[in-house]
């Protein structure tokens, strides 16, 4: 893991599986494969962080464009800052409020699938619930 003498090594992945299984997989092989102390992944609207006994961290950073399935239309991004602590990094999950009603009108004008529009309007996923961890799946409409 990072020490006070160096900045932590961070790998950022564009898409991939979510949930604890992904974090365990990253802990077992991904950190060494990517030469990383911290692996950040995106793709879904979910944001979370797992810390391992080794000091390594797996962070799902959220995504702009899809709500988190929490009943609000907001989306999330993650701010990473280096510091002089043992871990060498601070993580802040930041909610973003935006004109989601305007977006839904644009989606209707483009004739996008109604399921996608409803996700933006309600903040609840209407598709892809099967990829969610069971805790998150229970929050959606299944």
Model's pTM, two decimal places?
A: 0.73
3 part of a folded domain: no
1 part of a folded domain: no
Read off the CATH number of the domain in which 22 is found: 3.60.21.10
- By CB atoms closer than 10 A (0-12, 13-18, 19+), residue 12 is middle
Q: What is the pLDDT of residues 10-51, one digit of tens each?
A: 887 765 544 445 555 555 656 677 778 888 887 667 888 888
Q: How many structural domains comprise the chain?
A: 1
Q: What is the pLDDT of residues 81-113, one digit of tens each?
A: 988 877 788 999 999 999 999 999 999 999 999
Q: Are strands 57-61 and 47-51 parallel, antiparallel or unpaired?
A: antiparallel
Residue ranges making up the domain that contains 21: 10-139
């Amino acid at each position: 893991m990072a020490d006070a003498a160096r900045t932590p090594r961070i790998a950022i992945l564009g898409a991939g599986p979510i949930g604890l299984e992904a974090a365990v997989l990253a802990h077992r092989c991904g950190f060494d494969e990517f030469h990383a102390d911290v692996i950040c992944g995106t793709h879904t609207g979910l944001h979370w962080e797992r810390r391992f006994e080794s000091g390594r961290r797996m962070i799902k950073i959220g995504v702009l464009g899809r709500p988190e399935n929490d009943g609000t239309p907001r989306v999330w991004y993650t701010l990473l800052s280096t510091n002089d602590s043992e871990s060498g990094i601070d993580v802040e999950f930041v909610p973003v409020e935006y004109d989601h009603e305007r977006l839904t009108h644009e989606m209707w004008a483009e004739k996008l699938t109604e399921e996608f529009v409803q996700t933006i309007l309600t903040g609840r996923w209407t598709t892809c619930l099967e990829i969610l961890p069971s805790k998150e799946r229970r929050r959606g409409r299944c």
